[in-house]
Structure 1
Amino acid sequence: MSHVMMPIDNFFRSAARWPDRIAVEINDGADQRKITYGDLAYSVNALANALQTIDPAPQSCVGICAYNSFEHLLGWLATYAAGKIWVPLNPRNGREELDRIIDLTAPSIVIFDADCGEK
């Protein structure tokens, strides 16, 4: 039986092949970082394991409400690495729209930026 490659598999393949190459550059004011594929893969696996601990059910939904940030990318990759379904929750949407999406998709986990906590 052959394995179907998923996009997350390509990420982990790149991380294994080039662990010391830069995967992400952050240039956000005082936050100036370069994150290697190896370090990113380590963080993705750690968060994916935490998601699995919280909800071990396969293909459960994980909502992510975050602005464009490294943390958003990390949550997105970890969601796929854990075999979960990503539910995008745009923080620019109103509370009513976010509630509708959450009611429709029923995510078992919601990850959000501190700036989005009020939503």
Structure 2
Amino acid sequence: MKNATDPKASLDAFWLSCGNEKGASAALIKSYYGRVEEANRYFSGVHPGWRTDRGMVHIVFGVPDKIRNSNDSEWWVYGEEGSANAITFRFLHVEHPWDENFYVLNRSIQFRPPWDRMVTNWRNGRIKPD
């Protein structure tokens, strides 16, 4: 896409290949940009929301099934908490002089397989409905 002579056509072709048909592709596009808009609304600060750790997780995984908060952390749970298939992302609150809503993902190699699976699901037009 970076080197495409017509970036818009290249992007349209990408989404069409993900959805395999116009209707499914339109739903994917709507969901993706809706999540980007939500990320910008809820997680923007010194960075646009879609570029933050919480924004990126929100875009790829959607709204968590459960959110837990403490003084210094926020946990997002996808799936039934405590089950083998559940994934929990922990975001650490970081003091920032210009952003009181600044959180950083506590990264772990264990997130790689579910992240890759969700990206593949997006590319194949299979995402969790909003």
TM-score bracket relative to the smaller structure: 0.3 to 0.5
* TM-score, with structure 2 as normaliser: 0.31
Point out which structure has higher relative CO (alpha carbons under 8 A, 6+ apart).
Answer: 1
Greater fraction of residues in strand: 1
